[in-house]
Amino acid sequence: MQAQMNQITTFSIGELAREFDITTRSIRFYEDQGLLAPARHGQTRLYTNRDKVRLKLILRGKRLGFSLAETKRLFDLYDADSSSESQLHKILELIDEKKVSLKQQLEDIKVLLVELSNLEDRCRDELLQVTANTTTVQE
């Protein structure tokens, strides 16, 4: 029986890049902007599972149109253990802002999805007409 192996699985920058289908440049850039802070083995970066989660959150943020700065603010906000009363109020304010704009987005998306479905229907109709014409003409 071995002593504690301290087996914390880590990932290289290349592995992460492949997994999330982004470039290593991007990952280093996120670090540069203060969104990631991987450990080092010599020069080489070592990413833990926590880093991986962060990266996932960064990309989700991007899909939602968040700037990296915004995502960083949310991270910082999340990391702040405990704060002063005024700080807490500012945090709550920011959370509320985000929630409001996210709800707006939600509405926007629902509307657009309906419109796209309508457009889709119209396209299918037209497609049927076109193919019908083609086949009748063709013979």
Partner DNA sequence: ATTCCACTTTACGTTAACGTAAGATACTTT
Partner DNA sequence: AAAGTATCTTACGTTAACGTAAAGTGGAAT
CA angle 135, 138, 139 (to 5 degrees): 100
Asked if 37 touches its own copies (CB under 8 A), the answer is no
Number of helices (H) and strands (E), helices first, in the chain? Answer: 5, 2
Asked if 104 touches its own copies (CB under 8 A), the answer is yes
The total number of residues shown for the chain amounts to 139
Asked if 122 touches DNA (CB under 7 A), the answer is no
State the binding partner of 114 from its own copies, DNA, none, CB within 5 to 8 A by kind.
Answer: none
Q: Which residues contact 102 (CB under 8 A, 6 or more apart)?
A: 64
Handedness of CA 55, 60, 66, 70 (dihedral sign): negative
Closer to DNA at the Cβ: 105 or 118? 105
Asked if 2 touches DNA (CB under 7 A), the answer is no
Contact 54, 20 (CB under 8 A): no
Interface with DNA (CB under 7 A), residue from 15, 115, 125, 126: 15
Asked if 76 touches its own copies (CB under 8 A), the answer is no
**Which residues lie near its own copies (CB under 8 A)?**
60, 63-65, 77-78, 82-85, 88-89, 91-92, 95-96, 98-99, 101-106, 108-113, 116-117, 119-120, 123-124, 126-127, 130-131, 134
